[in-house]
Structure 1
Amino acid sequence: MRMLMLGGSGFVGRATVAEGVRRGWTVAVFNRGRHGAPPDGVRQLVGDRTTSDGLAALADGEWDVVVDTWDGAPRDALAGARMLAGRVGHYVYVSSGSVYAPPVPAGVTEDGAVVDADPAAADGDYPTLKRGSERAVQAVLGDRVLLARAGLILGPGEDIGRLPWWLTRIARGGDVLAPGPADLPLQYVDVRDLAVFLLDAGVSGLGGAVNVIGRPGHATMGDLLAAAVAATGADASLRWIAPDRLLDAGVAPWSEVPIWLPPGHEYRWMQQVDVARAHAAGLVGRPVADTVADTWEWLRRVGTVPGRAGRPAREPVGLDPAREAALLAELATGDPVPAAR
């Protein structure tokens, strides 16, 4: 198989390239070449689709599967699809559940209402950029396009820092603020399982929109944090605090407490997406303990969360240590709960 990765230097792109190489495919990446060389044996095509002549490197060549993680202007996704239209088999566009129009109901399916977006737009917010790009590539390639609407993505190589923050915090040991309830179901996908699905879908020709996330409750908040304690080997005790007490104290879900979206939160639907189609098409999720342990092994090797390729720096995630200590002193009751190892 001949695979072209549009991007390839970020979190999902690197995992997808690695999966293509693992399969023995002929792999090329198209990007600006600013974030290091690709793996051995992978051809790098240097270009920038935001410039007038930036697609020149794609003028020749044919590919069986194209994977595209673009989150910029839809007009640039449109130009790229037009350049490749006659020389590709199947086009896999990595989109996002953010394209669903609010208020998004729990259990949203691929038929849910989406935001209004222009496929030729030059700018926009993240949901309209992603939805506009969905429309752009479909306008050119039709049913040869898979719109892979991913949700929370975890695993080695994460460039946002949600799971790495938890691992780093727990590795410091001591009492750890744990956002309740411990049995709160999580919904996410390991980046490597996502990559496997993207390439399998490209080979099979799966088209249309698919919510590509693990099953709701594949793991719980308690499972995730216990796995982090086990992976780091830290002397840490989880101090579970009820969600209403954290919210009353002004704690911000998702940003100050990564991954956590408590019951009743306006974005709780992100942990309750219908994924029947993806799992019927073969999506398989590895155990949470493997995702956590492998992320810790990677983080220890690289030392710090990498910058986000081609994107502005994000605000830091996670509670400030002093704020966490103050919250524990104010809100934690009962004895600490050592996490199972």
Structure 2
Amino acid sequence: MKVLFIGGTGNISTPSSRLAIEKGIDLYHLNRGTTKVKIKGVKTILGDITKPNGLSDLKKHTWDVVVNWVAYTPEDIERDIALFKGKTKQYVFISSASCYQTPLSYPIITESTPLKNNLWEYSNDKIKCEDRLMKAYREEDFPVTIVRPSHTYDTVIPIAIGGFKEYTTPQRILNGEKIIIHGDGTSLWTVTHADDFAVGLVGLLGLTQAIGHPFHITSDEILTWNMIHKILADSLGCELNAVHIASDFISKIEPSFGPGLHADKSETVIFDNTKIKTFVPAFKATIPFSEGIKRTLKWLDDNPEKKIFNKEENAQIDNILRAYGEL
């Protein structure tokens, strides 16, 4: 099976690339060659998907599957439909679970949960992408499969404030400083290790029955935000010194934090993974956060240049704590 990953060396896509190679897939990456990630067995086509006129090498190929990890807007989708219509048997769009109804009317999410999120431009654009692709499927037989990850981690810290591609909150924990947990920390959340996600994603590649369908792929482990931060602190070998602050207060003091909280992380979500398990029987999330975060922290220790301490965001955290009377 000949597969193209547009991207393929990111936080989520790297483990999927490795698993695809292990499964004997003839895997190509289209990227600009700017990352240092090298995956044995992957063939690289150098190019920028945002500049279709410079993709002469890509246009020579036909594919069994194309996976776009870096499409975000309807314009990206129009470009891809033009590029790959008639050139691939399956097109996989990496969407986002943040597209689901916000706020939820029912906390257990299935693929039939409505898509509606007007609080975050990122999510709203992903919804528009899905709408355009499903229209192309219905009217033009464009062979789309939609995948919706949710807070998936490997080389990032999956917390709401001072984390993800930054090491700001982990460093504060190491320093014994106060950190912020939004709300009272008791709402339920799911974080998924990218190695687990990869099993579901790779299992969908070339699966004819998956065409025309959306899937989310997440862990079944359900944690509170208090537990997530406690496990992180324990994995760092430190005590947790957390201050609970309402999301409304956080976004009032520092509006840039608002969309990610109100549109995604401030309410309980529970994912029903029945559909991906039905289509890909091999899928089962086996890596608990207590194990996965240790892998991430070790990777960061081995790649200290990735421990990005954002001084501006650190100052914002201090500003919120000060306004709340905790500094």
1:209 aligned to which of 186, 205, 214: 214
**Equivalent residue letter for 2:249:** G
Structure 2: tracts of 5 or more residues without a match = none
Which of 215, 225, 230 is 2:229 aligned to? 225
Note closer, same or farther for the CA distance 1:164–1:64 as it changes in structure 2 (3 Å cut).
Answer: farther
Could you tell me how far 1:148 is from its partner in structure 2?
A: 0.7
1:95-140 Cα shifts (integer Å, max 9, x gaps): 01333455443334323333599xxxxxx94234323332444415
Aligned residue type for 1:154: Y
- Residue 152 (structure 2) pairs with residue 153 (structure 1): yes
| Letter of the structure 1 residue corresponding to residue 148 of structure 2 | R
- Equivalent residue number for residue 192 of structure 1: 195
Alignment of 1:244-259 (within 5 A): 246-247=245-246, 250-252=249-251
In structure 2, do the counterparts of structure 1 residues 134 and 249 end up closer, same or farther at CA, with 3 Å as the change threshold?
closer
Tell me, yes or no, if the aligned pair for 1:156 and 1:191 is still in contact at 8 Å: no
Runs of 5+ in structure 1 lacking a partner?
A: 118-123, 308-313, 332-341
SS at match of 1:63: coil
Residue deviations 1:244-293 (CA, integer Å, cap 9, x gap): xx2299334999999x96xxx66445734544423444543211112210
Count of residues in Structure 1 that have an aligned counterpart in Structure 2: 309
1:28–1:43 CA contact under 8 A, matched in 2:
yes
Contact kept in structure 1, 2:191 and 2:289, CA below 8 Å = no
1:19 to 2:19 alignment: yes
Q: Mark the CA change 1:204 to 1:266 in structure 2 (over 3 Å): closer, same or farther.
A: closer
Deviations 1:75-98, CA, capped at 9 Å, x for gaps = 332332343333433322110133
**Partner Cα distance (1:131, 1:112) in 2:** 13
Q: Which moved more, 1:78-87 or 1:175-184?
A: 175-184
SS state of the match for residue 8, structure 1?
coil
**8 Å contact from structure 2 (residues 19, 198) kept in 1:** yes
Separation in 2, partners of 1:250, 1:204: 46
**Residue in structure 1 matched with residue 28 of structure 2 by the alignment:** 28
Higher helix share: 2
Distance in 1 of aligned mates of 2:255 and 2:37: 32
Cα deviation code 1:15-54 (max 9, x no counterpart)? 3222223334321111233334642332111223333513
Q: Report the TM-score, using the length of structure 1 for normalisation.
A: 0.72
With over 3 angstroms needed to count, the CA separation of the structure-2 counterparts of 1:270 and 1:195, relative to structure 1, is: farther
Residue in 2 that maps onto 1:293: 294
Where does residue 129 of structure 2 map in the other structure? 133
Aligned mates of 1:91, 1:131 — CA distance in 2: 17
Alignment of 1:1-341 (within 5 A): 1-36=1-36, 38-100=38-100, 102-105=102-105, 106-114=107-115, 125-138=121-134, 139=136, 142=141, 144-157=143-156, 161-162=163-164, 164-173=167-176, 181=184, 183-205=186-208, 206-207=210-211, 208-215=213-220, 218-233=222-237, 236-239=238-241, 241=243, 243=244, 246-247=245-246, 250-252=249-251, 267=264, 268-269=266-267, 271-281=269-279, 282=281, 283-285=283-285, 286-305=287-306, 322-323=318-319, 326=322, 330=326
* Cα separation, partners in 2 of 1:127 and 1:257, compared to 1, 3 Å: closer
What are the Cα deviations for residues 297-332 of structure 1, in whole angstroms up to 9, with x where unaligned?
11112214489xxxxxx996567574587589749x
Q: Which amino acid aligns with 1:278?
A: I
Deviation (angstroms), 1:182: 5.6
- Aligned residue for 2:12, secondary structure, equals helix
TM-score scaled by structure 2?
0.75
1:67 deviates by 1.6
